[in-house]
Structures are given as structure tokens and as C-alpha cells.
Structure 1
Amino acid sequence: MRKVLAILLPVLLFLTACGGGGGGQSEADVYTDGKTAGAAESLESVRVTDAGDETAPTVEFDSPLTITETAARAVTEGDGAVIEAGNEVSLHLMFLNADDGTVLQDSYSEGQPQKIQVTEELKTADPVLYEVLVGTKVGAQVAYTAPIEAQEGQEASQNRLLVFKVLSAEVPPPPPEVLTPEEVAQLDDAGELPTITVGDDGVPSIEFPENEAPADLVVKVLEEGTGEEVTEADTISANYTGWSWGGEEFDSSFAGGEPIEFPLTGVIPGWTQGLSGQKVGAKVLLVIPSELAYGDAPTGGQPAGPLAFYVEIVEKAAAE
């Protein structure tokens, strides 16, 4: 599946799906008053020596960890603000093999902290993670783990221990809005939107303006569709090309010579919001802020920051 069709996984799923030890500590390093949630007794042996906000900590524990239920525990105390419900929290992550303590991956070395919003959605999806975050202070090191079930036909996955440091907790900015056609026209008249040119072969190219990308979602209809209207619940097929803001192409269906079919609930939010309400046959320029795309520091090779797409809606799948 092409990048643009991949769902931007919540950090929650990243925590449980991604994957040493070293350095001695004394019992004095254990934060006995830290918040716990779930089967936190399984994490009692976890010790963390903090090494700052830019360097992965030293983590040790009695291995192997027995992981049968989701568990979370604040291992070291923070000295910053208390995390509140509704905050957007920035984290540095470190994944370890729960059997032997070897480090599998960390965001410190990549220089890319991850963000998660402490919302009702998180509370529903992972009440243990939600519970340990709310009330914990910025600067804390938190151990988290959950059993990973093997998918059908696959061997059991290796259990992981996640240790994350809370770097900040802030009230998130208001979410991007969809600009009205009048607002889009104003930006276009001011020369602040990209210009799309479709060649004789049907393949689009783009020219970007010098300004920064708009903060909100831009839907510029280049050609009105005449077919059936598309809704968020529909599956459509479309031809498209995507560029990072500034001009670098990162994905295109035109290279394969045929449109791609996908559900509008299975793509980045900017596509879902931007294409809903359009009609089959429409040709659309989407300018998508990073909050509605893959974010400013995505994982898995997705493009960062604001994006621009040229999309031709070819067909709407028949309802099952």
C-alpha cells in the first residue's frame, strides 16, 4: 500500500507495536510514590537512570519480565508541570526486549520526540496509559508494557518494554479548519497556493509559492465532478500525486498507470476531510497542514510537515 494510503497510526499503537540493560543503580533511584496503572507489579524491578532530554537513559530490570496484562508505572519523578487531561504531551521513547533488556529502538538517537494527546479517545483506547499520564509530572520516566498477541498465521511477537520520558505537556493548539471557498480564492489571488499543471500525458506537476504553507486545510477544486457525491464512509478510486511543501514528490499513482482504491476512513485526515463532499470526476488540489497529514516528526518513512496533493476522483465503489 502506498504511503499516502497508510493510516497515520496513533502513538498509542506505536507504543505497543514497536520494539539494554547496563549501568547499576541503587534502591535510592526507585521512585516509590510514582503513579501506577494496570498490572504495575510486573514493572517493580524496572530501574531508570535519567541522562537528560537528549540522551537515552540507562534501563535495567529483572529479566525476563512476565507480561500478561497492560501495565504502566512512573519510575522516576518529574519536576515540571502536572499533566492534565486534554494536554498534548511530548515524549522521548525507548523500546527494549522484555526478555533480555537489549535496546530495540529509541527516539533519542533519531532526534524525534513523539506526541500524544491525553484525550477521551486515548482513555477509551488505552485506559492504563491514560491513567498513568494524568497526574504525572513533566520530566518523569515511565515504564509501560502490554502483551502482544500473535496475528493469525504468525509466530508470537517478542514482548517489549517501553520507557518514555515526558518532555512537555501543553494545551494543544486548536485543530486546523477547512477553509471556505472564499478564503481559498483569497489565498489563490494572493499567489499563496501552489500551481498545478497537467501534461499531455495526464501527469501533474506543481510549482510552489515562496510563502509558508497555510495553517488550515485548503481544498481548491480545479475541475468540478459530475458524478455521485463522495462521503467519509465511501471507498473510492483515485489518481494522485503528493509533494512535501516546497516541491519534493514522495508518492504518485501515475507511476503505476492506474488509480488506487481506498476507503476514506483509511487515509490521512486531510484526505478524508478534503475529499468528502466532492463528486466523482472532480480534480482537486489539497494543501494539508502537518496536523492532518503525518505530523512534523513521522515514523516509518512518511513525509513530514505540510503536504500538497493533486487528486482525481475516478470512481466510487458500489455499496456492499
Structure 2
Amino acid sequence: MRKVLAFLLPALLFLTACGGASTPADFEQESGKSAGASEILESVEVTDAGPDTAPEVEFDAPLDITDTAVRAVTEGDGEVIEAGQNLQFHLVFLNADDGSVLQNSYEAGEPQSLQLTDQLKEVDPELYEVLVGTKVGSQIAYTAPLEIPEGQETATPNQLLVLKVISAETPPAPPKKLSSEEVADLEEAGQLPTVTLDDEGVPSIEFPDNEAPADLVVKVIEEGTGEEITEADTIAANYTGWSWQGEQFDSSFERGEPSEFPLSGVIPGWTQGLSGLKEGAKVLLVIPSVMAYGDEATQGPAGPLAFYVEVVEKVPAE
């Protein structure tokens, strides 16, 4: 089947087949959107057995799967699903040749996740078309021909997937780089760290008693006068980094020399925060965790971070 099944199919236990179905009349009243060769799924009937129990699925086996087919067999009564949302769903995976159940996610009690992205729209436009505009609670049947490389044989049966959308949530907006006016407002409100330089130019920092800003803060302490830095450049810089709890975790000042690195190869908070500055600039960066190493980091400090950075120079390309 299409690549989208790699998104949808977890490692599940094999189970025995289910029985029973809704009546054809119920099917006609409750069915919703469809896409592709949906006539393949006309005989598919689903009886919802509740939020934690796999539904009963019945159809005229074997299905003649000649193309991708998607159909909302029963329509839910929840909110309308929108593009870009994160879906949680349960699924039942059936042998389309004999109707037996191969796998399901209900028994493990672990819903699966799928985001309605442009990538999904490109990989499987039929599934995307049916999901967007359908309601939460819908039971959606999906099938497509097996993709078997030429000259190979497979014992894998044709497959029918029935998924139930149990929730749809709009993800939070990604962090943005604050404007200089927005940074000034945060500073005036006392919500930004204060950086102090000693006689040798080594920084120390004092943190306010509030949560870190949700967006990227670039507070220019001193404007640069050299060449402008772009995301494609490699730069030399002096810096010190702290967690939002005030713990210092790295400092080039202690090593006694600037560090060189390509802006395309560092955390997004550095890439976006330093590009557009000029050589010689001195700045405070306050970086949300999603633009740093994450809330549960394994390769760096977790949570929001603060950096004092001096852009020494743009390193000439070799």
C-alpha cells in the first residue's frame, strides 16, 4: 500500500476477527465524504462499539482493490476536522481477502497520531481529502493496491484499514522572532535577563522571576559595524550560555578564544537570532526550548536558554 501506511500502522498484536455490522440503511444515513475509487468500499459496514473497543467491520470479501479508495463509512458528531490539525485515532487493520482482523490499536489503549500536513496531502491526497472536512468520531475506511516490486512475490494479503478519529487539535503557533519594539516592551516590564560585563568583557547574568518568553528574543546590546551575517555564513563568536534557571553550561570566554561555527549547523535560535546582525554586534538571545534543544534534551541543556553573544567576524569561505 502507499507510504502513508507507514504513518498509520503501529506495531500491534495480531487478534482474531470481529463480527457484526450496521444495517445498510444506517450506512446510507451516516456515511460521509469519499475519494478515489470509493465504490470499492460500498460493501464496508461498521458498527461503533464505543471509544475503547474495536468496532465491528463487515464487507463482501474479497475486495477488488484496483486503486486507492477512502470513505467515511460513518460520520461522527464532533467538530469538523481542519487542515493542519493533529489527529488522534484508533484503527483496525483487516485482511481484505477474507475479512479477518490482523491488528488493532484499541486493545493496547494507545491511540495513534497523524498531522494533516502538506506532506500527507502530497503522499496520499485521497486520505487527506476525506479527513479534512470530516467530523471527529468518524469511522473511515481506507485501502490501496499492494506495491510489489516487479519480479517479486509476497504472501502479504490485500488490506483494509478502518480508523476512528477520536480528537483533532490545532497545534500551537510556532515561536517567532520578536520585533525590536516587542523586545523593548519585555525589557521595560522587567521580564528579560540582565547581562553585566566585567572589566575584561566577561559576562554575568541575572534572571527575572518569571517564565521565559515563548518567542525568540534578540536584544541588541551593541550594534555591529562590519559585514552583515546571513544564515549561510560561518562566523567566529564569543558567547556564554545559561539555562533559564541561571546555570551556566558553556562559555568561550573560559576557553580564551572565539568559537567558529556555520549558522546553518546550530540550533534554530542561533540561526534566526544572529542572521541579519553585523560583525561586532553584542546581543542577548533568549531562546524557547523548541528553538534550542527541547524540553527533554539529550544533546544539550533542556528548556529555554539565554546566551550572551559577541559576533567577532564572518569567517571567509575556504
Q: 1:68 to 1:205 in 2, by over 3 A?
A: farther
Distance 1:294 1:37 in 2: 41
Cα distance change on mapping 1:242 and 1:83 into 2, 3 Å: farther
The equivalences for 1:282-301 within 5 A come to 283-288=283-288
Please tell me whether residue 310 in structure 1 is matched to residue 299 in structure 2: no
- Change in Cα spacing, 1:103 to 1:185, as seen in structure 2 (3 Å) is same
2:133 is equivalent to residue 135 of structure 1: yes
Partner Cα distance (2:219, 2:77) in 1: 47
Tell me whether 1:24 sits opposite 2:26 in the alignment. no
Distance 1:220 1:211 in 2: 17
* 1:144-168 deviations in Å (ceiling 9; x for gaps): 688999xxxxxxxx99969462413
- The alignment status of 1:191 with 2:151, answered yes or no, reads no
1:82 to 71, 80, 83: 80
Q: Bigger CA drift: 100-109 or 68-77? A: 100-109
Task: Give 3-state SS (helix, strand or coil) of 1:27's partner.
Answer: coil
Distance verdict in 2 for CA 1:223–1:13, change over 3 Å: farther
- Determine which structure has more spread, i.e. the larger CA radius of gyration: 2
**CA shift in 2, pair 1:103/1:138, >3 Å:** closer
Structure 1 position 137, deviation (Å): 0.7
Helix, strand or coil for the counterpart of 1:80? coil
Contact 1:21-1:58 within 8 A present in 2 as well:
no
Distance (Å, rounded) in 2 between the aligned partners of 1:244 and 1:318: 32
The alpha-carbon distance between structure 1 residues 75 and 311, as it changes in their structure 2 partners (threshold 3 A), is farther
Alignment length (residue pairs):
282
Q: Do the aligned partners of residues 102 and 14 (structure 1) sit closer, same or farther apart at CA in structure 2, a change above 3 Å counting?
A: closer
- In the aligned structure 2, how far is the partner of 1:295 from the partner of 1:194? 20
The alignment's C-alpha RMSD in Å is: 6.3
Q: Which amino acid aligns with 2:286?
A: L
> Please, what TM-score do these two structures have when normalized by structure 1?
0.53
SS of the residue corresponding to residue 186 of structure 2 reads helix
CA distance in 1, matches of 2:135, 2:288: 33
Which whole-Å CA distance do the structure 1 matches of 2:250 and 2:271 have between them? 18
Q: Quick check: 1:187–1:193 contact (8 Å CA) kept in 2?
A: yes
TM-score, reference length from structure 2: 0.54
Q: Is residue 244–residue 306 contact of structure 2 (8 Å, CA) maintained in 1?
A: no
Residues 286, 105 of structure 1: alpha-carbon distance in 2 compared, 3 angstrom cutoff: farther
Is residue 92 from structure 1 mapped to residue 88 from structure 2 by the alignment?
Answer: yes
The answer on whether the counterparts of 2:116 and 2:128 sit within 8 Å (CA) in structure 1 is no
Please give the residue correspondences for 1:111-150 in structure 2 after superposition, counting only pairs within 5 Å.
116=115, 123=121, 126-142=124-140
